[in-house]
Structure 1
Amino acid sequence: MKFGFLYTVQYICNMIRSEKTRNFIIEKTAKIFNKKGYTGTYLSDLTNATGLTKGSIYGNFKDKNEVAVEAYKFNYKFQTEQIISKISQEKKAIDKLIVFLNHFQKSYKQIFENGGCVILNTAVDSDDGNELLKIEVIKSINKWQQTIVLILDEGINNKELKKININEFSYRMIAMIEGSILLAKTLKQPEILTKNIDYLKTETYQLKKE
């Protein structure tokens, strides 16, 4: 009986250590994957970033695919949690949309330093390659679009916003943000992003009912 109890305790301790190691690897490699992409990230990058051996890394993950997917999820969660936190503090739909846009306008330096938008980077990186990453990116885009749709729908139902095609508007907003991040970062001209965000703000304010 005592042996069984000790075995269970040891098993739980090992599971906790394993989970801590997994999280450590994900946190240390997330920025690398976002900057260098799946193809451009090598095992040596992972071992250098974590200080762990190949055996330690692949003892906690099936392969590089799994590390990349978990790193993507970590990056996406980090990016979206900041936005959702800001949105949740607002009551009116119009204010939620403006806060959403302000995030990209005010946080672009941090986004650029971390390698750019994780959704955009991973979408390009996985388009003709890693199917698992592509699936995660599609999920993220759908969640992002649905968040905007829900805010717009709420505003229209509350008679706060004019009736519009909410699907078209939400996809246009996402496309302009992502395209602007790509151009601004590549050309090193942040004003491309900030000015396009200003345009989106103007368009958003025009949705307000008289």
Structure 2
Amino acid sequence: MSKGEQTREMIVARAAPLFNRQGYAGASMADIMRATGLEKGGIYNHFASKNDLALAAFDYSIGLVKQRFARALDGKRHAIDRLHAIIAVFREMIDDPIVPGGCPVMNTAIEADDTHPELSAHARLAMSDWFAMTRRVVAKGVERGELRAGAEPEAVATLMISTLEGAIMLSRLYGDPAHIHRAIAHLEWYIDSALKA
């Protein structure tokens, strides 16, 4: 990796938590300069604009989340175990944040919804990947007889992800992880009782 590539990676890695905590509008170039230790010109040597950096920082954050999903799912073949592993990743967003500031998809989706179409599109794509992953687990679980016949992959994905994202929001808003832990306890009961074949 060249020195320029290393510098670019460093900028993205240091800007990602800043954008995740403060948002695109809230993270100023002065904040980014402080976080990276570079002058504005040094940053713009690697990114055409703050917008390009924000997109790269979001994609970097999502890459970290994908790595955590991959580690959590590694070696787990049964649908019940895989659904519990997905839940564990969301729990870790509170207990051991992947990127400081909470869930990057939720943060970006809320901030960028009406103000930044490109960032919103990146958030939608990341969320679509999470939905697709959960739907696949459920569909294969039903097909293999691990989950009850008639379990609807789309409905299960919506229920799980919306419950977990909402609980993360409440835990962050109130500074109280009890919300995510209650949501997880309910979803674990749901998986083990209502979904299990």
TM-score between both structures, scaled by the size of structure 2: 0.94
Structure-to-structure mapping, 1:60-209, within 5 angstroms: 60-111=46-97, 114-162=100-148, 163-205=150-192, 206-209=194-197
Q: Are the equivalent residues in 2 in contact too, given 1:180–1:192 (CA < 8 A)?
A: yes
Change (3 A) 1:182 1:112: farther
| Cα 1:106–1:129 shift into 2, 3 Å | closer
Aligned pairs, number: 195
1:74 CA drift (Å): 0.9
Q: Percent identity?
A: 28
Q: Give the root-mean-square deviation of aligned CA atoms.
A: 1.5
SS of the residue 2:140 aligns to: helix
- The amino acid across from 1:95 in the alignment is D
Correspondence for 2:22: 36
For the residues of structure 2 that align with 1:43 and 1:169, how far apart are their CA atoms? 41
Query: Can you give the 5+ residue segments of structure 2 that lack an aligned partner in the other structure?
Result: none
Distance 1:198 1:135 in 2: 32
Deviation of 1:153 (Å): 0.8
Q: Give runs of ≥4 in structure 1 deviating > 2 Å.
A: 15-18, 102-107, 109-113
Structure 1, unaligned runs of 5 or more: 1-14
- The answer to whether the 8 Å contact 2:138/2:147 transfers is yes
How big is the shift at 1:17? 2.6
Q: Give 3-state SS (helix, strand or coil) of 2:142's partner.
A: helix
| Contact kept in structure 2, 1:112 and 1:185, CA below 8 Å | no
State the Cα distance separating 1:202 from its structure 2 match. Answer: 0.8
Q: Which has the greater radius of gyration? A: 1
With structure 1 as the length reference, what TM-score do the two structures score? 0.88
